[in-house]
Amino acid sequence: MADIVRASRQRNQVTRINSLLVFDGWRFCQTLEGEGAAVCDLADRIREDERHTGFRVLYQDQSSAERQFARSSLDYALSYDDSLDCLAAAQSSDARELLSGLFPGFDCEPACPAL
């Protein structure tokens, strides 16, 4: 995981993407923030990578709202329970709200901002 996080942080700095990557020991959930084309390119790369299965976009917002993860190109968080289960069936802005509600229970590295 350390190699993935390190490489992603470097790549995200170049493309000016900020993100939160959550891992529960089995699944990943990631939120991406940045310029639309850069975010879409990254999502396409993730989708096409053979190591990723079941990729889907839960929520997409083209607004110019302030970034929530602007302090780091990638924050990495661990979830020690089944909290990501609720996101599996989430749709649209519900997914964003659910993830925000789960945030306090994540073990973050580096220190993640409050949502």
Q: What are phi and psi of 76, to 5 degrees?
A: -115, 130
Between β-strands 18-23 and 28-33, what pairing exists: parallel, antiparallel or unpaired? antiparallel
Q: Which tokens belong to 24?
A: 């529960």
Q: What is the pLDDT of residue 38?
A: 95
Q: What is the pLDDT of residue 20?
A: 87
**If you search the block for the tokens 């802005």, which residue do you land on?**
93
Domains in the chain, please, with CATH? 2-109 (3.30.70.100)
Q: What is the pLDDT of residue 15?
A: 96
The residue with greater pLDDT, 111 or 28, is 28
Q: Is 75 left (phi over 0), alpha (psi -120 to 50) or beta?
A: beta
Q: What are phi and psi of 47, to 5 degrees?
A: -60, -40
For residues 13-19, give the mean pLDDT: 94
CA dist 67 and 115 (Å) reads 10
